[in-house]
Every structure is written in structure tokens, then in C-alpha cells.
Structure 1
Amino acid sequence: MNLEFSFLDYAIIGAYFLIVFAIGFYFARQERSSTEYFLAGRHVGWFAVGASLFASNISTEHFIGLSGTGYVSGLATGNFEWSASICLLILGWVFVPFYLKSGVFTMPEFLERRYSSASRWYLSSVSIIAYILTKISVHLFAAGILLKQVMGWDIYTSSILLVVVTGIYTIAGGMSAVIYTELIQTFILLVGAIALTWIGLDKVGGWSELVANVPAGHFEMFKPMSDPEFPWTGVIIAPYIVGIWYWCTDQSIVQRVLAAKNIDHAKSGTVMAGFLKILPVFILVLPGLIAYALQQKGMLLPGQKISPNDVYPVMVKTLLPSGFRGLVVASLLAALMASLAAVFNSASTLMTIDVYQKFRPEASEKSLVNFGRISTVVLVAVSLFWVPLVSVLSDQLYVYLQSVQGYISPPIACVFLVGLLWPRANAKGAAVVLWTGFVLGLLRFVLEIIHKSSPFTNPFLRTVIEMNFMHFAILLFVISILLLIVVSLATERPAQEKLDGMTFEYARNVELNEEYKIERPAHRQQNLVASAILGVMLLVLWIVFF
């Protein structure tokens, strides 16, 4: 049975849409250069950077997937959230200085400067395809589940409406519209998620009642090595491999720090986002445990079995009073639209800077912006075409998403990280790693699908296919590092221009934009103190929930 929405619920949802469109069209009225359209003129402050990093990451699959996996397995899935806080610190302190000083628009452009144009083409192609096949599909699938359960809309209606609405303000306002709508969306999604968690915890009878009505293992962040989903051997390493790829090298994330005013604001934004990433364990995973406890007490859906994907929608329908329903639905819409806008804007940036401008280097600023808008329209159209296919996705959505990322992330994380740390890494080594990693990851994914319908009998194949996806990510990362070292040492040294300003050893060998080059000592000190506080908080939380 669908919710009966009050006038207040509809008013809150309506106000949300009005704010989003107002921001989008405010920026649409301004003249736009390519820097302004794709990177918001590089004048975004730290608070907006941090909020944008958080909002572009949190989408409806987090509401669906984290609560569903929390319902089944407990808090262990939250390791991906807390490890993200560490990865955000790595982004700010390790990668940001190189990205901003180089003045690049895109991550493939950075890879070309460090290695070769072949690496740039690889990353551009894989990123655009991955955005369509994983990010857009997963966002729409999760939104379809939520809005069907909560609003009664079918997946086609909800997907088409939200893709079109998000596409309009993204096309109109560019990166500025995306970032400043994400600032508002961060506030809305946090308020909505906190409200549901608070009400759910009150319904279950408080923390002590929650602990008494869920299995003890649900509160453990580190499961036994034999655990099929979250073995501790995978949890302590794999999230950082995936996280370095996602938080430190993925265009849809890094584009936010590229838009920062300077290194100080970029670092402060990453630290702020790191603090925000502590919250999903308590406002998105914990509701899954609350739902489990309520179900055990016969207070949610007595006598019925709840699918993991239905946990959050059922809680919204069952627990929330009038007014809060509209607030939570607005938070769900905010999460989806922020993530979709990030994908649309980043993919159009890749298509414009890494494809169009490569073929037309003399293109004017106006033509670059126009092509960016056209490419966003194309992405919207492709997304609409993809809608009928999203229903084939996995039941445990978040595990599906993390496993796919585990297959594609290790080689990319390797070439970025090793490229900064080891000057001897060269273009041939990077090319071998990227393509070998791609083939191995794709092979594992395809064989896994075949194995589910027709199990293999070969012991070696079964071991590789049935290996936990986190263990596979670790193995692939190690293989990638070894390949990069061996091939680089067996071939010629990279040219000096590929190293100056692009590795730690040669970071000072080139004069770069003075505005980005110098950090202010007072701001650096503040960022160091805030980073240390964040690190201590995470350590305490891991100890408490060990």
C-alpha cells in the first residue's frame, strides 16, 4: 500500500524542485567559458567542495544498498564508508597538489601528461562506458525501487522524470549549477536520513533494545575470514584500492576539487567530506539493523519476509508521520539527482575535453560549451534508453556495485598511485597494466555470470570465480603493480617532461600557477589538525565496533 501524502509532504517536495531549478537557471543566464561551464570557474569554496563531494557520492543505491546489506549482514559494509574518509585524506594530501598545479580539466588529461595519449584514451573510454553501465544504471534501478514502493510510480515513469529534470538543470547551468544544487541536496538528504534513523530507533525502544534484538555479529565491523561477503582479510585492504580509484582518480569525484579556489580550499573540502562520510554508517546502514529488530519484535511487517532491497522503502512507509514523509522523499530525490548530475556533467567534460577538443584543438570557448551541452543531452537520451535494462541488476545492489568497482579499479589505481611515487614507471608499463587489468577483470565478471547458471567443475576456475570480490581486487592490484614494475624496468626510462611536476621526486622541477602553488601556512595547519582529528575519530569508531 502506498503512502497517503499530505499537503505538507507535497509542499516540501515542491519546494525542493523549485530550489534546484532556481539554482540551475540562475547560472544558465551567465556567459560561460569552458572553465566556468566545466569547472565552475575554479572559484568554489571549501564548504561547497566538501558538500559536493559527499552529495555526488551518496545516491539512492546507498539508501537501498546500505540499509539492505545492514539488514542481512550488519555494520561490516560500513567499512567502505569509513575507508572513504581515509581515501579523501589521501586525495587532499597526496593527489590534489599535483592535480591543481597541473591545471588539468580531466583525469585522463593528467594521465596523458604522466604517461601517454594511449593511457588518456583508455581512461576516457572506460570511464564514459562505466558511467553508463554501472553508475547511471544503478542510480536508476535504486530510484525505481524506492519510488515504486513509496510513491507508487513504476520504474519507467520515475526514471524518465528524474533523468529529464536532472538533465535540464545540468545542461543549463553546468558545473556551477551542479555544485551549488549539491550543497542544498547535502543538507536535505542528511536531514531526511537522520529523521528516519531517529524515529526508527525510538520505535524499537532505544539502543539497548536494538542490541538485544539483532545478532551480536551485526555490530562487528570485521567478520571472520570465512565470511562470504565481508571477510576481514578483504575489508582491511580492498576498500582502499577501490577507494583510491573512486575518490582520487574518478572524474565525477575529482572534478569537484579541480573547481576549488586553490589548494587550501581543495584540501579543506576533502577533509570536510571525510567527516561527512562517517555518517552513512549511522544513518543508512544502521536503519537496516533497526528494521531487523522491528521485524523480530513484530512491529514492521509481521509474518512477512522482507527483501534486502525493500528494507528502506518499507521503513519509510511504515514509520514516518505526515511531513516527515515528504522530507525523506525529498532527501531520496536529492541523493539521486546529485549523483546523476555528477555523472552527466563529468561524462560530458570527458567527451568534450578528451574527445572533441583532441580532434578540434582550435575550437572556441563557445563551441566547447555548446558541445558539452549537446553531449549531456546525448547522455540523457542514452540513460532513457537504458531504463528497461536496469531491472536485471543484482538483489543485493550495493554488493553488486562494489564488486563491479573491484574488477575495474585496481589497474587504474595502480598507474595513478605508482606513477606519483615511482618516477621509473613509464607509458609502456601503464598501457600493459591498464589493458591486462581490464581483460582480467572482465574475464572474472563474465565467468562469474556463467558460473551462476552453469557451475564450472575445474578446481582452478572455481577458486578464481568463487573468490570474494575483495580478495580478487587485492590480487589484481598486486598483479598490476608487479606488471608495471617489470615492464617499466624492461623498457626505456620516461622522458623528463613526463616527470617534472608529475611525481613527488620531481615535484619542484617546474614553475606552475602561483595561485595554486603556494599553500598558506595558517590554512595548512588548520587542515593538518582537522585531518588528525578525523583520523582519531575513525580509529576510535573502529575500536568500538571491532
Structure 2
Amino acid sequence: MQGLDPLDWGVIIAYFLILLGVAWWVIMQKQKDTEDYFLAGRNIGWFVVGASIFASNIGSEHVVGLAGNGAGDKMPLLIYELHAWIVLMLGWVFLPFYARSGVFTMPEFLEKRFDARSRWVLSVVSLIAYILTKVSVTIYAGGVVVSALLGIPFWIGAVATVALTGIYTILGGMRAVVYTETIQAVVLVVGAGILTFMGLDAVGGWSELKNTVGVDYFNMWRPNSDPDYPWLPLFITSTIVGIWYWCTDQVIVQRVLTAKNIKEGRRGSIFGALLKLMPVFLFLIPGVVALGLKLQGKLDWDSPDEAFPVLMSNLLPSGLRGLVAAGLLAALMSSLASVFNSCSTLFTLDIYKKIRPDKPEEKLVRTGRIATFFVVGLGLLWIPIITRLSDGLYEYLQNVQAYISPPIAAVFLLGIFYKRINANGAIATLIGGFLIGFSKLTLEITKSSFTEGGFMHSIANINWLVFGAYFFAICIAIAIGVSMLYPAPSEQQLKGLTFGTVSAEQKAANKNSYGLADIIASVVVVVIVIYVMISFSTLSL
């Protein structure tokens, strides 16, 4: 890899100065209550909301891992980047219920829809999941990127970046996060877009790339007999994970809850959906380009996850190399900042405030800062363990999420669409689902200790996509079955929280919150998703 020169360093330093300037400006604003600190005063416009959604989703592990998929013959995982239509569901379907309920967090919504037990379970499990997956994996990938770009030891790069991100997240709160994420989203899109354009030019254009890697390489749809990526389980499980991640996960939903109103929040989700279409072209295609250049003898790398940084360092001229490096650092910091702030929100409002309800607003904000500090510390402590992970970080994340998401997605979907589901059905699904999911994950980790062909080995060996689809069906059955054993919740409790209990006034208010432009933009997103799904098949290529 070619190192960074003085001009590259100048670009990176300029980026950080702008970023810290914005963060400092936000920190100087008064943040005395929880609404301002955790939800930026609920006063953010659609552009910032959409950019924040995109930046929260795209981290270093995403950039590097998705390019690694493109370079490592894992094209079926492209479907996870075509979830823009599910981002639309957040704005059109879920947001009106969240906004009407006035909640800060997703566990808080479950408490209003069901009872306090569901809130406690989801809060605790979400915090554990964030620290062990999102925080730790992002730190790991970021450490790899920073050490490769700057030529410094892995742990120094990881600690330095995490510390910097933690400082402005702790001091600035949600407002600092969303505004810095807007800058980071712009840098990331511009930098990766330039790399994609120059990469295609270097490989000889799209047609030459297809000829080099082979037309079949681009096919994301494999037969159901495929042992790794059967198409139907892939579609079902990826959709379940997508609904959990985009419509019920605190990190993403917190962005739309910062909006001024439902109209701005919905438009923010539509804009976020449009941006979500970009990773296919910004990150996956450069991975395929890197493979094409390797096959042409113009580039060399060992692991597919090295494809993006190697392509960047060897292809881009001085200055532009620094811009893309800044974009990668931006991706790392935006993802970490999002998770740090969301963990802080969950702990402070769903756990601490429930234990100490008499605490004033200023004390809660202070508690949120302390909670963020501990999340930063726990993430750093996990580095020695996460560095032992094998390659294929992106697939690892999707695998783990397939075991976490089904019970949560089932409870939220049924909770909004089916008013007969009660608190007992919800808690049985959450607890039972988490036990099933973590049991399967444990069996996979310890699979080598079981007798091959035995019952335990067979369960552990079930394809994670197939298991995810059946797991979701089991969660739906638990929720409905247990709910039917107990009385239905009262209409008063459900008022405005399910489709069957929305008043005429609420329906009218929701209808007035969107226009023809919003509908057209949403249709355009869906059409593009369908087009890409068709395009990445051997039939069209």
C-alpha cells in the first residue's frame, strides 16, 4: 500500500478541524434537559435526519466488509444493501406511531404498548448486543483501517479514534452527533464516489469488468439448494433483519425522533432511503473492481477485506487519497458516535430513570454522559477479543443479527398491526426468542465439540439464513399463541398505538403530513431497488 503524503495529511487535518469546530459549536449550546441532549430538542430538519440515518448505518466495517464481499464472491449479501424500501417503512408505517406516543426510546414504546417488563428486557438485551457487536466490531474494523492508512499500531489507532469520538459524543450529545454525521456523510459519498469512478476507468469500464470477472460473478440469486446463500431464506431473513434494524433499532429510529415533526421525519427517512442505495455503487463495486484489477495483474492483495484500502491507496492521486481516508475515518466515527449516544439514551431513560424517577433533568443528562464514558471503556476492553475474529466481518454481523432480530421484529410488527397481542405474548416472545437465538449462536461457536452427525451438531450446522426464517415464524407463533391464553388489552391502553385504534383525527393529521412529492420519491426508491435486484442476475447481465 502507498502511504499518505503531506497533501493527504493536510486534507485529513482540515476535515478534523471542521468536524471539531462543528462539535465545539454544538457543545457551547445549552443542553439542560433530556430532550435536547438525547433527541437534539426534536428540532432537526429532514436533510440532517436523512444524512444522519445514512452515516449511522455506514461504518468502517461496512465500507471494508462490503467491498470485501464484492472482492470475495459473496454477491448474495448485496441484498442487505437493498433495504432502502424498508427504510421507507420506517417513515411511512412506524414513525407515526412512535411520534404520537412521544417516546425517546424503543423500549419505552414497548412499555406503552405492552408493559414495563418488555421495556426492561429489550433495554438490557439491546445494551449487551450493542457493546458486543456494533461497538466492538466497529472499533476492530476502524483500528484496522486507521493502522493501515496511518502506518501506526492497531491498538493506538483504535484507542485514539474511539477516544476522540467519545469526547464529542459525551459533551455534545445527540445534536453534536447528527450535525457531525451530516458532514461525514458528504465526505464519505464524495470520496467513495470518486474512487468508484476512477476504479472503473482503471479496469477498462463496466463491460471489461464483466468480461474479466465473468458474468456469473454478479448473480446475487442462487438456487435454494445452495449451501451458503439459498435465495428464499436469504430474502426472508434479510427482510426480518432489515425491519429490526431500520424500523425498531434505537440507533436508527433515534434519528427520525429528532425531527421537528412527522413530516420532516418521514422526509428524512425517504432521503435516507435514497442515500441507502449508494453503498452498492460506492463500496461493493470498488471491491469487484479490485478483484478485476487483481485478475488483470494490476493490483495485489491477500484478503478480500483489504480490497478497498489497497485500491484506494494505489489508485487515487495525492489529496484525493487523503479525502477518501478522511471518509473512512468519518465512517468509523459516525457509527461509533451513533451507538455511543443510543447506548447512553437506553441506559439513562430505560434503566436509570426507572430506578431513580425523582432525578432532575440536569442529573439525567450528566448520567447520560457517564454512561457514554463506560460504553467507550467497555468497547475498548473488548478489542483484544474482537481482534481474534476471522475474516468476513460483514457476514459475521449479519449472522449474529439473524439470531437477535426475529423476536424483536415479531413483537413490534404484531404490536402495531395486531391489537390482540398482549403483554404476556410480548414478554414470552422476547425472552423465549432471545433464549433460542443465543442458544443457536452458542451451538455454532462450540460446534467442533459435538459428534459429527449427532443431534446437537446437526442443529448447530443449520444454515443461519434458513434458521433465521424459521426462527421468525416460531416467534410469531409464540406471540399469538400465548396472547390467546390471556385477555385482550383494553382499547384505552392501545389508543393510537395500533392500526386498529388510530382515531379519525390522528388519521387526518397523518394524511396532511405528506404530499405528492413524498409519494413520488418513495416510488422512485422502490423502482430502483427492483431494478438493481433484476440487474444483479445472470438473466440481465
Please say whether Structure 1 and Structure 2 have the same fold, judged by a TM-score greater than 0.5. Answer: yes
Q: Distance in 1 between matches of 2:432 and 2:395?
A: 24
SS at match of 2:221: coil
Aligned-pair distance for 1:192? Answer: 1.3
Aligned-pair distance for 1:332? Answer: 0.4
Contact 1:49 1:256 in 2 (8 A): yes
Aligned-pair distance for 1:468? Answer: 2.1
Contact 2:139 2:380 in 1 (8 A): no
Q: Structure 1 residues 352-361 or 253-262, which shifts more? A: 352-361
Contact 1:54 1:273 in 2 (8 A): yes
Aligned residue for 1:288?
287
Unaligned runs of 5+ in 1: none
SS at match of 1:53: helix
Match of 1:399 among 387, 395, 399: 395
Contact 1:66 1:288 in 2 (8 A): yes
Aligned-pair distance for 1:238? Answer: 1.2
Q: Distance in 1 between matches of 2:526 and 2:35?
A: 34
Q: Summarize the Cα distance change of 1:436–1:522 in structure 2 as closer, same or farther, 3 Å threshold.
A: closer
Q: Summarize the Cα distance change of 1:526–1:273 in structure 2 as closer, same or farther, 3 Å threshold.
A: same
**Amino acid paired to 1:541:** V
Aligned residue for 1:226?
225
Match of 1:518 among 488, 491, 509: 509
Aligned-pair distance for 1:420? Answer: 0.5
Aligned positions of 1:471-510 closer than 5 A = 471-508=466-503
Q: Distance in 1 between matches of 2:532 and 2:48?
A: 26
Aligned residue for 1:373?
369
Contact 1:264 1:524 in 2 (8 A): no
Aligned residue for 2:518?
527
Q: Structure 1 residues 193-202 or 130-139, which shifts more? A: 193-202
Q: Structure 1 residues 396-405 or 13-22, which shifts more? A: 13-22
Aligned residue for 2:199?
200
Aligned positions of 1:72-151 closer than 5 A = 72-82=72-82, 84-151=83-150
Aligned positions of 1:77-476 closer than 5 A = 77-82=77-82, 84-301=83-300, 306-451=302-447, 453-476=448-471
Aligned-pair distance for 1:287? Answer: 1.3
Aligned-pair distance for 1:459? Answer: 4.7
SS at match of 1:86: helix
Aligned-pair distance for 1:455? Answer: 4.9
Q: Distance in 2 between matches of 1:474 and 1:498?
A: 32
Aligned residue for 2:42?
42
Aligned-pair distance for 1:464? Answer: 2.8
Contact 1:410 1:473 in 2 (8 A): yes
Aligned residue for 2:530?
539
Q: Distance in 2 between matches of 1:457 and 1:520?
A: 58
Length-normalised TM-score, structure 1: 0.95
Q: Distance in 1 between matches of 2:390 and 2:415?
A: 35
Aligned-pair distance for 1:48? Answer: 0.5
SS at match of 2:4: coil
Q: Distance in 1 between matches of 2:25 and 2:147?
A: 32
Q: Distance in 1 between matches of 2:34 and 2:467?
A: 40
Contact 2:491 2:501 in 1 (8 A): no
Contact 2:3 2:149 in 1 (8 A): no
Aligned-pair distance for 1:499? Answer: 1.2
Aligned-pair distance for 1:480? Answer: 0.3
**Amino acid paired to 2:477:** L
Contact 2:4 2:149 in 1 (8 A): no
SS at match of 1:457: coil
Q: Distance in 1 between matches of 2:335 and 2:515?
A: 30
Q: Deviations over 1:95-125 (max 9, x none)?
A: 0000011100000000011111111001100
Q: Distance in 2 between matches of 1:123 and 1:524?
A: 35
**Amino acid paired to 1:315:** L
Q: Structure 1 residues 528-537 or 141-150, which shifts more? A: 141-150
Q: Structure 1 residues 146-155 or 518-527, which shifts more? A: 518-527
Q: Distance in 2 between matches of 1:132 and 1:371?
A: 18
Q: Distance in 2 between matches of 1:308 and 1:260?
A: 39
Q: Distance in 2 between matches of 1:418 and 1:499?
A: 13
Contact 1:55 1:338 in 2 (8 A): yes
SS at match of 2:302: coil
Percent identity over paired residues = 47
SS at match of 1:392: coil
Contact 1:135 1:343 in 2 (8 A): yes
SS at match of 1:523: coil
SS at match of 1:225: coil
RMSD: 1.7
Contact 1:74 1:288 in 2 (8 A): no
SS at match of 2:499: coil
Unaligned runs of 5+ in 2: none
SS at match of 1:423: coil
Aligned-pair distance for 1:373? Answer: 1.0
Q: Distance in 2 between matches of 1:493 and 1:521?
A: 32
Q: Deviations over 1:459-499 (max 9, x none)?
A: 54344322221211111100000111111001222233431
Contact 1:426 1:493 in 2 (8 A): yes
Q: Distance in 1 between matches of 2:125 and 2:453?
A: 31
Contact 2:56 2:338 in 1 (8 A): yes
Q: Deviations over 1:291-348 (max 9, x none)?
A: 11111111102xxx62122222221222222111111110001001000000010000
Q: Deviations over 1:347-375 (max 9, x none)?
A: 00011101111112222111111111111
Q: Distance in 2 between matches of 1:148 and 1:381?
A: 20
Q: Summarize the Cα distance change of 1:15–1:472 in structure 2 as closer, same or farther, 3 Å threshold.
A: same
Q: Distance in 2 between matches of 1:456 and 1:413?
A: 34
Q: Distance in 1 between matches of 2:52 and 2:160?
A: 23
**Amino acid paired to 2:44:** V
Q: Summarize the Cα distance change of 1:81–1:279 in structure 2 as closer, same or farther, 3 Å threshold.
A: same
Contact 1:149 1:314 in 2 (8 A): no
Contact 1:204 1:294 in 2 (8 A): yes
Aligned-pair distance for 1:280? Answer: 0.7
**Amino acid paired to 2:272:** A
SS at match of 1:518: helix
Q: Structure 1 residues 189-198 or 407-416, which shifts more? A: 189-198
Length-normalised TM-score, structure 2: 0.96
Contact 1:76 1:221 in 2 (8 A): yes
Aligned-pair distance for 1:230? Answer: 2.4
Contact 2:5 2:318 in 1 (8 A): yes
**Amino acid paired to 1:225:** N
**Amino acid paired to 2:442:** V
